[in-house]
Structure 1
Amino acid sequence: MSTTALQSPRTGMKAARPAGGVNFLRALHAEWIKFTTLRSTWILLATTLAAMVGIGLLGAWGVATALEQAADSGRDPGADGVRPQLLYLMPTGGIDFAQLIIGSLGVLLIASEYSTGMIRSTMTAVPDRLSPLFAKALVIAAVAAVTGIVSSFATYFLMQPVLAGYGQEFGLEVENLVPSMLLSGAYLALASLTALALGSLLRNSAGGIVTLVALFLVLPTVLGLIQLDWIQDALPYLPSNAGRQLLALEIAGGDLTRLQGGLVMAAWSAVLLAAAAVVTKVRDV
C-alpha cells in the first residue's frame, strides 16, 4: 500500500498515512472486519448450518422410516404421501429455517449500527454513504452463498450413512440434485440481500426481522388460504415462492422455470436495495 508523509506540528517527525483516500475496497475490508469480529455473526452462521443439516437429516430419517414401515406392512407408501423421491429434497430441506436465520444476520448487519449510533462513525469515515451499504451487501451475500452450498452438501453426505441402514442411499447423479444444492447458495444470498435492504430501510433490528418473516413465511401462507384467482396468480411471484424454483428438482408445466424464479427473487432484492440506497443517500443518520 502506498503512503504519503505528513509533518507533525509538535514533533517535526513525519507520519505515514494511506494514499488515495477512501475507496470501495477499503470500505469492503472494513465491513469484512466488522462482520467477522462480531460473536453474533458466528453464532448465527453456526445456527444456519445446524438448522440446514439437522432438519435435512431428520427429514431423511423420517422418510426412510416411513418407507420401511410401509414395505413391512405391505402398504403402498404413495398412498400415505410418502415417496422415495422425497429423499432427494432433503439436502435443501432446511432452507425455510436457514433463510430466516441468515436473513436475521443480514438485518442485524446494518440495523444494529443504526440502533447503537455506530452508523455515524461509518458514514463519517466513508462520506459517500453508498459504499458501506454495498460493501455490506457483498459481504453478506458471499457468506450466505457459501453457507448454503456447504450446508447442502454436508447434509447430503451425512444423510447417506443414515439412509444406507434402510437401503435408500442415492448418488449425486440424481437429475438436478447438484444444481439444486449449488443454487441453495444463490437462494440464501438473495434472501440475505433482501434482509439487508429491509434493515437499512427500517433501521430497526426487530422491525426488520419481523418484516422478513412476514414476507418470506407468513405472507405466502396467508395468501395461499385466500381462494381468489388474482391472489393465486400472484403467489408464485412472492420472493420465497419464486426463489424456491431454484431448488426444484422437477418443474411442473405452467410454473416459473428455474431461471424465471431466480430472476423474480433477484428483482425483489434489487428493488429493495435500490430503495435502501436512495434512503441512505438522502436521509439523516
Structure 2
Amino acid sequence: MAAAARASARARPLAHPNPGVAALLVKDGCVIARGWTQEGGRPHAEAVALAGLGDGGAEGATLYVTLEPCAHQSARGPACTDLVIAAGPARVVIGQLDPDPRTAGEGAERIRRAGIAVTVLDDANARASLSGYFTRAEFSRPHVTLKLAMSLDGCIAMADGSSQWITGEAARAHVHAQRARHDAILVGGATWRADKPRLDVRLDGLEARSPVRVLLSRGVAPDGVRVINRPSQIGDLEGVQYLYVEGGAVAAASFLAEDLVDELHIYRAPILIGEGRRGLADIGLTNLADAHGRWRASEQRQLGSDTFSAYLRSR
C-alpha cells in the first residue's frame, strides 16, 4: 500500500477534480500491473492497471488500491467496482474507504458479494496521498500548504524589502516542483504589488503544470488571476484540492490565525539578516502553551546549503 501511495504522486494534481488514486496488482510477490488516475480524472487507476493485463491476467492476484473503487456509473467511464469484479482478482486491499456518498462502502461490499476477499486498511500513507480529496470532503476546502523561505533569524527580506534571493538555486527549484504539485498558488496583495511575482513553474518540461494564480486582496482581480477577500473563501475555489500559499507575512499569518494551514514547508538559508522583515505577522497567539502540540515533523532534507523542513498540522 505504501508503494501504491507513492505511485499516486504521478496523478497529482493532473487528476483533479477527481482524487489522484493509484492501484497495484501483485501476483507471486511481483507487481504485474500498475496505474494511477489520468489527466482530467479518467480513466481511473484501477481501469489503467487492469487494462495492462489480458483476459484472466488478474486471476490469483491481489489488487492494492489507495481509495475504494467507485461504485457509481458515469458518462465518462464504467464503475471501477464492475471492472474489478469482471477481472476477478483473488483479493482487493483498500487503503481508504471513499467518502463520496455514491460509493461510501458500497464498492467494497459489492466486491465482497462477488466472492472476492476484501481488506480495508484505513492506511495512513493512502490517506496522506489523498489529503486534498479528504480535506475537501471533510472541511469543504482545499488542503493548504504554507511555504516560508527565511533566514536563520526568521527574516524573509531586508528592512528595505529586498528579498532576492534568500535561498539558493536548489531550494528554489524544489519550490517550483512543489508548485507543480498544487492546483492553485496564493499570495497576498502586498506581495503582489511589491514583487509582481509570476507564480508559475519554471522547470524544464513542467511549465504547463503552472497552478492557477490566486490573490488575497480586496482589490480588482488582475487578468488571469482569481481574487478572494479573506482566507475562509478558499472553499469557493472550484476544482482546487491543493492550495500553495507563498505569502507574504500578513497573508501567511491570516491563514495560520484561522487554522487553515494543513502543512508547513519551511526553507531556511544559513544567513543572518538582523533588522529585516519578519516571516510572520501576528497570528493571534495569546498563550505560549497553545503553540505546543500543533505541528509534527514529517520531512527534512538538505537542498544545497539550505535546509527544507515539512510539518503537518496535528488535528
| Structure with the larger RCO, 1 or 2 (CA within 8 Å, 6+ apart) | 1
Q: More strand by proportion, 1 or 2? A: 2
Q: More helix by proportion, 1 or 2? A: 1
Band of TM-score, shorter chain: under 0.3
TM-score, length basis structure 1 = 0.24
Structure showing greater radius of gyration is 1
TM-score, length basis structure 2 = 0.22
